Structure formats: structure tokens, C-alpha cells
A and B are shown apart, each in its own frame.
Chain A
Amino acid sequence: DAGVIQSPRHEVTEMGQEVTLRCKPISGHNSLFWYRQTMMRGLELLIYFNNNVPIDDSGMPEDRFSAKMPNASFSTLKIQPSEPRDSAVYFCASRTTGSETQYFGPGTRLLVL
């Protein structure tokens, strides 16, 4: 299995631009998580889906952030408009029912200038 796949791996954009991060979970996994990692705040859960349905989005920082999971094999995290303080590494993770182990993707390193 290829593991959790994230794209792009690196993104540099200018303030005000729309940013879309993509994630493909491990096949057969039915829970998907989006995390953000910064030096100041560490690793924080933004939102998670179970069977493609958003369960808890209380970690989403503000309305500029949105996430979708149109099917079991694809999810997006969108930031519109982006701001310099959104610069961070964004991780996607997935998990299967009955397991408590989350498998993390390699992350997308976002820099907003």
C-alpha cells in the first residue's frame, strides 16, 4: 500500500490567494483527519471525517478554512483567502474502524507570503 498520499508536498503562495491541499487516505480506511503543525502551537487537529461525513470541525481556525470529503478516497482542505499566519505543515491521517492507530501522510508545507 502506498500509504496516505498528500499533494502538493510544498506550496508557496501570496497572501489572498486560494490554497487547496489534497489527501488520499489508505484504501479501506474510513476515518480521515486534517492536522496543522506549527512551531508555536505544535500539532493540532483541524477536522475529522468518518465515512465521508465531517464529525468535528471545532479545530478549524476560521471561516477561511473549509474541508470536504466527496468520496472515500479523496479529501481537500481549502484556505480562501490565505494569510501569512496560515503558514504551517498540514498533515492528513487516516484510520480504519476498530483500530486506534492513525497513519499520517508526509504533509504539505505551506508558505504564505
Chain B
Amino acid sequence: KQEVTQIPAALSVPEGENLVLNCSFTDSAIYNLQWFRQDPGKGLTSLLLIQSSQREQTSGRLNASLDKSSGRSTLYIAASQPGDSATYLCAVISSNTGKLIFGQGTTLQVKP
């Protein structure tokens, strides 16, 4: 059974700092991996999607990497801003089931 784990559960950093969020998954048979952002009381917004054949994707100050063989992904946020404060969720689509399996998320606070 696919399990997705995110570390740390919570992170607080000063504005301007570069940071890395970690995601690991137990079954490397994935179709793709996605990073989402969730603001309090709101739905999820897709940030980046990495196909299983890809190593990384970039969007603005965000860079996501994927190492399928080791079951790991990282989300790198450069020059963090208070507006980046949110919960970041990692999810994989299992090749076997086609379902999106989510991690528990990392709650990020960027202090001005």
C-alpha cells in the first residue's frame, strides 16, 4: 500500500530564507508526483506536477525534484515571502490504482 510522508510537519522561517520541504513515498510505481498548496479554510491549488520520467519542474521561485528510485521528492522555495505561508501537500498518483495519495502536509510560516 502506497504511503506518502512529509517532513517536517511544520516549519517557521524568516522572510527571505531559502527552504526545502521533503516528501517520501513507499512504492516507486508512480505515474506522477504533484505538489499542492492549501491556504486555511480553502481548497488545494496545484503548484507543480512531475511526471515519473522527469527529474524536476520549476515555476517561478519554486523548484520540485523527483528521485523515483529512492522514493523522494523535494520542494525548494527560494527567497521565501510571508505570502508563501500555507500548508504544502505532496501527492503521488499510483501506477497501480490511478489514485492520488496525499501526504499529511507541511505547514509553513514565513515571518516578516
Contact = CB atoms under 8 A, between A and B. Distances in A.
Given A43-B89, A106-B43, A107-B43, A101 B100 contact: no
B43 A42 contact: no
A105 interface: yes
A104 interface: yes
B103 A42 contact: yes
Given A42-B104, A42-B105, A43-B89, A101 B99 contact: no
A110 B72 CA distance: 34
A85 B62 CA distance: 37
SS class of chain B's interface: helix, strand, loop or mixed? strand
B103 A103 contact: no
Contact of B102 (A42, A105, A106): A42
Interface residues of B, number: 22
Most buried by B among A42, A43, A48: A43
Interface stretch (B20-28, B44-52, B77-85): B44-52
B74 interface: no
Interface string A74-110: 0000000000000000010100000011111111010
B66 interface: no
Contacts of B89: 43
Contacts of B93: 100
Interface in B42-88: 42-46, 49
B101 to A, nearest CB: 8
A93 B91 CA distance: 14
Given A100-B32, A101-B49, A107 B42 contact: yes
Interface in A30-82: 33, 42-45, 48, 56, 59
Interface of A: 4, 33, 42-45, 48, 56, 59, 91, 93, 100-107, 109
Given A48-B99, A107-B43, 6 more contacts: A33-B100, A42-B104, A91-B43, A100-B31, A104-B43, A104-B45
Interface of B: 31-32, 34, 36, 41-46, 49, 89, 91, 93, 97-100, 102-105
